[in-house]
Amino acid sequence: MAESKQKSQSSEKRRKRNYLSDGISRKKFVEGPGIWVSCVKGKEKQTVGELYDLFDSIAADIWPIENPESPETRSEVEISREETELSIEEQIKAEVTAFKRPKSEQRLTSCQTNTPCVVFISCKSPLDPVHLVETHIRNVKLTGTARTRYCHRFVPVSATCYTDLSDIQTLCKSLLERHFAHDDGSSTHTYKIELRIRNHNTLTRSAVIEAIAECVPETYKVNLTHPALFVLVEIFKSVCGMSISTDYYTLRKYNVMELANDFAQDGNAEGSRIPQA
């Protein structure tokens, strides 16, 4: 009896680990596409919460939910008007039906990193991590308001793979092919590989850079100061994430704190990292 109770408690604990304290689901492993975000130490949970609010707000404008008539998107006025026309029994029946109805698929999910100062938010289609991040970063550059309290730097990840050189090359070729779809190869361009490695000691930095460089077309030459193209690579434990950017330096390496400070130092209004109440 006691053993059965312990197993039940253990199973309950495992289920609880898959959710944050506010009921937001999270994955056990980092899986892209998604967004890496560095944050204030000890504020990782709060960072996840404010990122959900931020990304949901931006995504709603860029990728609106397709079914506007779903129960989740109807206004409180409409629901209230319908409820007043129903009897108590009909209202209870309607509530039970709504409870059983599957909710719309969640487009953002926090992934466990078990690492201080860094969180990862996984994105589902049609959300594009690069477009999502750059939209936010351009808004910060324009207004000086970061809309977050604990976030420092954002790094979008278009796709992920295991930290195997052949897999990394396959992923890189796939992303570059999409980016070069409209490039006829007649002109010469420049590029730079921006690599960050965390909690990983199997692959060396030079080996990863060399493997990725082999995938870049010959018409692209390395330029470490003012490249036209950036290959962003994030290695975390056994996962490698990658994306392509053309405005990485222009947007201050997606660092919202630096952009907000730049806005304030330029004499624009009152620079602020978060919106004032």
Helix (H, G, I), strand (E, B) or coil at 208: helix
Instruction: Please check the confidence at residue 12 and state whether its pLDDT lies above 80.
Output: no
pLDDT (average), residues 89-105: 58
Residue matched to tokens 């962003």: 232
d(CA 232, CA 248): 9
Total-model pTM = 0.75
Angstrom distances, CA of residue 109 to CA of 11, 168, 179, 233, 260: 22, 24, 26, 21, 27
pLDDT of residue 94: 61
pLDDT in tens, 49-85: 999 999 999 999 999 986 644 444 444 444 544 545 5
Q: How many CA atoms lie within 13 A of 42 on its CB side?
A: 0
pLDDT in tens, 146-187: 999 999 999 999 999 999 999 999 999 999 998 887 666 666
Instruction: Please check the confidence at residue 11 and state whether its pLDDT lies above 60.
Output: no
pLDDT in tens, 210-228: 999 999 988 899 999 999 9
Q: Is the peptide bond before 33 cis (omega within 30 degrees of 0)?
A: yes
The secondary element (H helix, E strand) that includes residue 235 is strand 229-236
pLDDT of residue 227: 94
For 70-208, strand residue ranges (E) read: 108-111, 118-123, 151-157, 159-162, 189-198
Pull the structure tokens for residue 137: 């970063």
Compute the residue count for the chain: 277
Under the banding of pLDDT at 50, 70 and 90, the label for residue 3 is low
Higher-pLDDT residue of 247 and 269 is: 247
Helix (H, G, I), strand (E, B) or coil at 247: coil
Number of Cβ within 10 Å of residue 126's Cβ equals: 11
Pull the structure tokens for residue 72: 């989740």
Q: CB-based burial of residue 16 (10 Å sphere; 0-12 exposed, 13-18 middle, 19+ buried)?
A: exposed
Residues 6+ apart with CB under 8 A from 218: none
Helix, strand counts (H, E) of the chain: 8, 10
